[in-house]
């Protein structure tokens, strides 16, 4: 074998070895195993091809990326998510899961990244800037929802003339758009998502409930602090705000959990 041929052979083998090592590295990249309820738009849902999409899907995918990991998302029922993290079948659960003291007894949560408040919506041109402006108005609510309870509890206080109950949010909002009601009280996330298409409607008044969503993880998961730090970085560099705008059509409030670092939840 000549020196030139030997050199070419050596270079070829070296390149092949390098490619093989790189491929093995990619193939062996650790996966963050995530569980999600598949029918919870805009937080997570399955598209026509059967892949998961949504606000929290983008959030957890970006967190995993910053940890140098890939993401594997499993389709689970909502209640099954808690058993899956507790048994370590999955690392993380997403599905607009509220951080509570009770849940912190058996699970761990990252800092909150979303404030799950209710709100009062109306047509854009309506003069509505406070609950007091509901006096003499017809208010739509989803039957059995927290919005339903709020409207009934405050009907006399704010002088609401009538409460219209609906079984589907779409029906409630269609009536609002058509002027068959004056306002609607419901969870802000779902309404904001609907208003990406129903552009004549807007959330006018927030109703603070104090509920917040975080990534739920196996109790004392070894990646908990790193995932929490990744969320902090995402808030500081604006990437979480960009994800918020993509799915809700607006920037997060400057003092919200989607914009400002939150304390780590403690049991």
Instruction: Give the model confidence (pLDDT) of 21-32 as tens digits.
Output: 444 333 346 999
Q: What does the pLDDT read at residue 14?
A: 46
Which residues does 262 contact at the CB level (< 8 Å), separation at least 6?
111, 112, 113, 212
pLDDT, the chain, mean: 88
Beta-strand relationship, 70-75 and 31-36: parallel
Distance CA 142, CA 166 (A): 5
Handedness of CA 146, 77, 39, 211 (dihedral sign): positive
CB 116 within 8 A of CB 96: yes
Q: What is the pLDDT of residue 116?
A: 85
Residue 248 confidence class, pLDDT cut points 50, 70, 90: confident
User: Which pLDDT does position 210 carry in this prediction?
Assistant: 85
pLDDT digits (tens, 9 = 90+) for 106-139: 999 999 999 988 999 999 999 999 999 999 999 9
pLDDT at 29: 61
| Contact predicate 238/246, CB 8 Å | no
Give the residue, 71 or 190, on which the prediction is more confident: 71
Q: Has residue 237 got a pLDDT over 60?
A: yes
Query: Exposure of 154 by Cβ count < 10 A (0-12 exposed, 13-18 middle, 19+ buried)?
Result: middle
Distance, in Å, from the CA atom of 245 to the CA atom of 266, rounded to the nearest integer, reads 29
């Amino acid at each position: 074998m000549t020196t030139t041929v030997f050199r070419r052979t050596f270079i070829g083998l070296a390149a092949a070895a390098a490619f093989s090592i790189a491929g093995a590295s990619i193939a062996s990249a650790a996966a963050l195993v995530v569980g999600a309820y598949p029918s919870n738009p805009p937080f997570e849902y399955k598209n026509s091809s059967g892949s998961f999409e949504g606000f929290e899907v983008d959030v957890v995918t970006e967190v995993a990326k910053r940890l140098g990991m890939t993401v594997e998302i499993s389709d689970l029922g909502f209640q099954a998510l808690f058993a899956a993290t507790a048994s370590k079948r999955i690392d993380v659960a997403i599905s607009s899961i509220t951080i509570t003291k009770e849940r912190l007894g058996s699970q761990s949560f990252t800092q909150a990244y979303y404030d799950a408040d209710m709100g009062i919506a109306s047509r854009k041109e309506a003069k509505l800037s406070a609950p007091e402006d509901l006096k003499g108005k017809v208010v739509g609510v989803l039957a059995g929802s927290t919005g339903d309870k709020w409207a009934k509890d405050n009907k006399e206080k704010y002088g609401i003339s009538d409460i219209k109950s609906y079984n589907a949010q779409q029906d409630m909002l269609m009536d609002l758009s058509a002027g068959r009601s004056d306002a609607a009280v419901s969870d802000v996330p779902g309404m904001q998502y609907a208003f990406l298409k129903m552009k004549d409607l807007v959330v006018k008044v927030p109703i603070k409930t104090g509920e917040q969503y975080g990534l739920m993880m196996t109790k004392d998961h070894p990646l908990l602090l790193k995932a929490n730090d990744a969320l902090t970085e995402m808030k500081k560099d604006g990437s979480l705000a960009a994800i918020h705008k993509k799915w809700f059509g607006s920037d997060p409030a400057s003092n919200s959990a989607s914009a400002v670092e939150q304390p780590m939840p403690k049991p």
